[in-house]
Structure formats: structure tokens, C-alpha cells
Amino acid sequence: MAQFTRTWWGQRFITALEEFTDTARLGRGRSYASGGRILRHELKNGTVTANVRGSINPYFGVYKEPIYTTRVTMPPISAADWQALIADLSSKASFVAKLLLNEVPDNIEDVFARHDLRLLPNRQHDFTTSCSCPDYANPCKHIAGVCYLLASDLDRDPFLLFELRGLSREQLHTELARSPLGQILASELTTPEVPIEQVESFYPTPHVEAAIPVLSLKDFWTGARRLPAANESTSPASVPALLIKKSGDFPDFWPKSTSFIATMEELYERVRSKSAQLK
């Protein structure tokens, strides 16, 4: 079965649809979405309109392949509620930052819940659908197919959710950028233009430097200062068998039930002790 969405918001959208749609129609809808039978679908003014190539079905009196018009919409949120929601979203830097970067925070529904609203659908009343096909059921397989494609679109552009609820991406970004946090974050996201500077050459220019004076052999061997003392011996490693630990306690090649790391650490300790005795 084709996977139409990989994001949590796309999956929530499909889950809401599948809770009240007939299983057989859902299966046909998935085949319509993946089989190229949906010729066109676009979101405009909060409504998704699609042209779906239907099937010949003499039972319904359809003897020629038809083209059905399908529409999917969600109840819009009023301008006053959007104003309150944006004020709430603008009070937290994490929300503002992700939304300005075209990401949907995973806890954004908590903000909507505080205002008794929802961004994502979770019941049948959150969908308003229609289709020109003769099927008595709503949603039909054509509506289901359009919803599956819409879920894929939401993966690529989650702000379609806001448009379905009556707020465009441009309006949301504009309102967020007006807030104090939005102004700070927006200024950081703006990349300053680097002025173009003209250079004489693409290659580095060589510079002449004074040569280091050559010392005589006498000065080299009998220098004016005493040579530094020999380096102090370094202490042994505090963590033995460091490279061995990368393989884990029970690597694939280790047949015993005892820890491979513990065994190798013991071996390293014996070798180190023996080496110390030979000095």
C-alpha cells in the first residue's frame, strides 16, 4: 500500500478521514490517488477543487469515462479567533522560530485547544466534501483519493492547513513578523548582502621576506642557553582498551558469554605490568 504521508500532521489528517469513511471506498481512493486518476487539484480560497477521472459503470448508467468535480474544505476560523491565536503563538520564541522557518511545532494544537479550536481535523464535522459522481456515500472514493493527495501536499507545505482554516501563509508570516519576538528572529533570518570587491588577481601575490640567518656549527652546538630538560614521562592512560570499547561488550565475533571489553582490559593491564617489569 502506498504511503502518502510521513509527517505527524499529514498522518493526523488521514486518520481523521479514515475514522468515518467506508473501508472499501478508502481502498479505491488510495488507488485513485496513486494511479493518476486525479487529473488536477488546487487549493483556492480555502477550498480544494479537483477533477477526477471516473470509471465506466453501467449499474449507475455511466457508459463513458466521466470526469467528476470534487471539493474538500474545512470550517474556517474567524478573523477575531485568528488574531487571538497569533497573539498566543507570538508569545513563545519556539513557535515563532519554527513557523517563520515553514515548520509546524508538534505541540501547536495545545495553543488551539486553549481557544477551543483545532488546526487539524479529528472528526467528520471537520470536513465538508462534495462530488458530482452518482455514488450516494459521502465521502466517496473520489473524495478519499483527493484527501490522500492533499495529505501528501501537507507533507511538503504544512501551511496549507492554515489556508484550509482561512489564513494564508503570507498573512501568518506578516502577523508573526510584527510581534517583538518575530522582529528579532526575522532580522536574524535575513542574510545581509555581501558587497562585491574587485581584486587585482585571482592568485596570491608573493611577498619577499628576510632570510633566517644561518648559525655556525659552534653556535648550534654550544648555544648561549642550556638545553631544556628531558620531557617528563607521561602517566599511563586512565582508560585502558579505549579502541576495544568501540566494539561493545558482545561483538559479533565474540563467542563467549563474558564481556569482551572486560577480557581485553585485563589483557591490556597484564601487558602493561609486564612491560613495566622489563624496564
* Mean pLDDT, residues 114-135: 88
Tell me the per-residue pLDDT of 216-268, one tens digit each, with 9 for 90 and over: 777 777 766 666 666 555 555 555 556 667 677 777 777 888 887 788 878 87
Same domain, 52 and 178: yes
| Host domain of residue 122 | 8-189
pLDDT at 136 over 70: yes
* Domain end among 142, 169, 189: 189
161 and 23 part of one domain: yes
Lowest-confidence region among 13-27, 32-46, 183-197: 183-197
Quick check: helix, strand or coil at residue 147?
helix
Residue 178 makes CB contacts below 8 A (sequence gap 6+) with none
Span 2-22, pLDDT tens digits = 577 788 888 888 888 888 888
Among residues of the chain, what percentage have pLDDT more than 70? 86
My answer on whether 184 and 121 are in the same domain is yes
Looking at every residue in the chain, the average pLDDT score rounds to 81
Residue 85 belongs to a domain: yes
Q: Same domain for 17 and 148?
A: yes
How far is CA 156 from its chain centroid?
Answer: 10
Find the mean pLDDT for residues 45-51: 91
Average pLDDT over residues 117-134: 88
Do 158 and 34 lie in one domain? The reply is: yes
Q: Is residue 58 part of a domain?
A: yes
Is 158 among the domain residues?
Answer: yes
Residues 87 and 181 in one domain: yes
Residue 132: pLDDT band by 50, 70, 90 thresholds?
very high
Model confidence at 71: pLDDT above 90: yes
Contact 49, 70 (CB under 8 A): yes
Q: Let me know whether 49 and 157 are in one domain.
A: yes
Let me know if residue 205 belongs to a domain.
no
Q: What is the pLDDT of residue 233?
A: 58
Q: What is the pLDDT of residues 79-114, one digit of tens each?
A: 899 989 988 888 888 888 888 777 788 888 888 999
Q: Check whether residue 251 and residue 173 sit in a common domain.
A: no
Query: Is residue 198 included in any domain, yes or no?
Result: no
Q: What pLDDT score was predicted for residue 219?
A: 73
Per mean pLDDT, which range of 143-147, 163-167, 199-203, 220-224 is the poorest? 220-224
For the chain, the residue count is 279
Please state, in angstroms and rounded to a whole number, the distance separating the CA atoms of residues 106 and 119. 12
Establish if 143 belongs to a structural domain: yes
Ramachandran assignment for 253, one of left (phi > 0), alpha (psi -120 to 50 degrees), beta (any other) = alpha
Report residue 159 as a C-alpha cell: 501551511
Report pLDDT for 225. Answer: 64
Q: How many CB atoms lie within 10 A of CB 155?
A: 16
Q: How many domains does the chain have?
A: 2
Mean pLDDT to the nearest integer, 135-143:
89
Inside any domain, residue 18: yes
CA distance 112 to 116: 6
pTM of this structure: 0.60
Q: Does residue 120 form part of some domain?
A: yes
Beta bridge partners of 53: 67
Same domain for 182 and 101: yes
Spatial CA neighbour of 50 closest among 148, 162, 163? 148
pLDDT beyond 60 at 279 = no
**Are residues 114 and 183 located together in one domain of the fold?**
yes
Same domain, 255 and 134: no
Residue 1 has pLDDT above 50, yes or no: no
Domain boundary among 125, 159, 189: 189
Segments in the chain forming alpha helices (H): 8-18, 23-34, 79-89, 93-100, 108-114, 141-156, 160-164, 169-178, 180-189, 217-221, 260-278
Claim to verify: residue 180 and residue 248 sit in the same structural domain: no
